[in-house]
Amino acid sequence: MTDFDALLKRSFAEAPEPVDDGFAVKIEHAVARRESALKARNLAQTIGLAAAGAALAYGGYSFYGAFGQELLASAGLEVARAHGALSSAPSLGGAAQNVLHAIGAGLTQILLIAGALAGGAVAYRATQD
């Protein structure tokens, strides 16, 4: 770069370039339009979400107004049942009795199946002789 070029650039550094005047203004307007469109879309989405929230709140209010007392009563009964189950200590006699009942019911079925198998084996042997 020569001294003349440097002097020329320093002399006209503050002067705007004529080619850039219209381009920069058009870009500025395009960006401003885009930003305003985005703001409008954001506002529309916010209003839509608020309307959806209001509709859900109204539906929930009417649902809980109709079924709320029944739901609370059922929940209260379940809490009372759980509290009763947790607060009462299990008795050893009751647990043993339940085990004996389970064994008795299972043993009956096992004996019936074993008897049927034994009877089948006897009948098979009798037919083979």
Q: CA 24, CA 35: separation in Å to the nearest integer?
A: 16
- The pLDDT of residue 19 is 59
| pLDDT (tens digit per residue) in 103-120 | 776 777 777 788 888 888
- The pLDDT of residue 1 is 54
Q: CA 110, CA 106: separation in Å to the nearest integer?
A: 6
Q: Please state the rounded mean pLDDT for residues 86-106.
A: 71
Q: CA 62, CA 56: separation in Å to the nearest integer?
A: 10
Q: CA 39, CA 33: separation in Å to the nearest integer?
A: 10
Q: Say whether pLDDT at 8 is over 80.
A: no
Q: What is the mean pLDDT of the chain?
A: 80
Whether the predicted model's global pTM rises above the 0.85 cut: no
- The pLDDT of residue 21 is 63
